[in-house]
Amino acid sequence: MKIYGIILSVLGAASVALSTSCHGELDVTQSDKLNTTNMWTSESDALTATTGIYYRLRQAFAQSKANPFFWGELRVGPAMWGKGTGRSLCDNDMLDVMLNTLSASDASTDWSYLYTTIDQCNQVLKYAPGIGMSEDNMNYCLGNARFIRAYCYFWIARVWGDAPVITTPTEGTGEAIYPSRHPVAEVYARIEDDLNAAAGYIRTNAKGCYYATADNVNLLRADFALWMYAAGGGDGYLTMAETALGAVQSAGLLDRFADVFSISNKKNREIAFALHLENGEYTSGSYFSYFIWGSTQIKAEYRNAPDGVPVSSNQWFLYSDDFIGFLKRSKELGDQRTDVTYMERTGVSDMYEVIQWPNKLIGNISTGTMVWEQDFILYRYAQYYTMLAELRYHRKDYSGALTALNTLAQRAYGKANFYTDSSAAAVRQALVDENLKEFAEEGNVYFTLIRLGAIHDYNPYRYVDGLGQCGIDTSRPNQLLMPVSKKAMNKNNKITQTQGWS
């Protein structure tokens, strides 16, 4: 498809320099860091530092505007998302991401916490091998570090393109700690090498979904391989995806879609990879809180009540009217996912006739007070089926693609063989539709639409000017990428902005 060549040119065109230093030019947090002078003396030190990798990643994803939703879903744009609170509320940073009018000043352009996480991985990879420990624990430390480093670089490559490839801890002073931005091909090579290494270290699912397992490593490998194929990497990446998906040991789905996201059912068998969150650890709720109404707009008796309305501070985002219509039409066909993904109530507000909200990730309201303790779900086994269908689609096995998609549709609609049209166009549309219905709010559909060559059908290539005019602006390259943050450029005069952004 035409989009594949565009992706390759977009991802390869950015060329900027990035600075880093021991205490901040790359925004790598240095506090509480294990190093050769204060720790790294025992097996428990290495294990603690490995656990710390996930703490760093959770810090990254708990940011209010630099997180998977802003990077991997809001950029689908007005075809999927709109303002919240009666279509009246959305700040400028949010609108810039949603309308693709980004600038270096927008908070979402900040990659610093991803590099902090990478630095934690590099610490483990440098120092853990020097500590005497069991082979199992060594494999655990090195495998988790490689897995998360690959995961972070995969986000960086898709969001910014060219990027520094850093494989040693950020220590010392001098020019050596000011790495330039490497071509995206080198970022991809680093990801692939790390994934292959992680797969060698992590061979079981014994540690569960909060850490690296054989399955979540292979789901990431398949995700990466499909992205690389779409970027023009060749049929070898379809083989890589096939191998990775074939190595997945479990692909179980729960019977009820709602149970996948239930606060009382964390770490369920459909979750392949998640970041654990306990009561009180993050009171702001990250991006989850942006979907929920403010308490003053809801009648007191309905606030956080059964069959009422979840409330917190302010609702900044609501699905677009078109997307709500898309979900409602699916519900008319019996889709159980719609009421999990979207909800509306009437008679619950003195200010608005209809109260609407994205409903999948609403926190815990069982006590009548909103508590943000839902996990960050990063891979579900449902993605095994959509990626398998995508692989078969690319290989022109259209009937096989429908078989994979119908596994999800069987749960959603309670009907076998929901999809029957095996023409290429129909299968591609079914892939798009299933990803949108299944994974809304989870921060990944933007990249899936890019892979499927469907992004033109929604928004991100469209430039929305000051008059609200929409159209493909061919004068602005790299629109699939984000600009480099002003924060990064201000710290090093070697940094230049990605072409097409300011």
Cα(432)–Cα(426) distance, integer angstroms: 10
Boundary-marking domain end, from 317, 341, 374: 374
Residue 3 has pLDDT above 60, yes or no: no
Is residue 334 located within the same domain as residue 263? no
pTM (predicted TM-score): 0.91
Residue 393, token pair as written in the block: 């689609």
The position carrying tokens 């990250």 is 286
Is residue 362 located within the same domain as residue 481? no
Q: For residue 498, what pLDDT is reported?
A: 82
Cα(34)–Cα(164) distance, integer angstroms: 23
What pLDDT digit, counting tens, does each position of 403-438 carry? 999 999 999 999 999 999 999 999 999 999 999 999
Per-residue pLDDT band at 12 (split at 50, 70, 90): very low
Number of structural domains (the chain) is 2
Domain of residue 362, residue span: 277-374
Residue 222 domain-assigned (yes or no)? yes
Is residue 353 located within the same domain as residue 416? no
The answer to which of 149-163, 277-291, 404-418 has the lowest mean pLDDT is 277-291
In sequence order, the 6+-apart residues with CB closer than 8 A to the CB of 420 are 402
Boundary-marking domain end, from 374, 406, 432: 374
Assign residue 230 the CATH number of its domain.
1.25.40.390
Let me know: does 247 contact 406? Beta carbons within 8 Å: no
Let me know: does 93 contact 104? Beta carbons within 8 Å: no
Boundary-marking domain end, from 374, 400, 415: 374
Q: Where are the alpha helices (DSSP H) in 299-458?
A: 321-332, 338-341, 382-394, 398-413, 424-439, 445-451
Residue 345 domain-assigned (yes or no)? yes
The answer to which of 13-27, 262-276, 363-377, 413-427 has the lowest mean pLDDT is 13-27
In sequence order, the 6+-apart residues with CB closer than 8 A to the CB of 246 are none
In sequence order, the 6+-apart residues with CB closer than 8 A to the CB of 12 are 161, 162, 183, 184, 185
The answer to which of 138-142, 209-213, 278-282, 380-384 has the lowest mean pLDDT is 278-282
Let me know: does 317 contact 82? Beta carbons within 8 Å: yes
Residue 17 has pLDDT above 50, yes or no: no
DSSP secondary structure of 184-212: HHHHHHHHHHHHHHHHHH---STT-TTS-
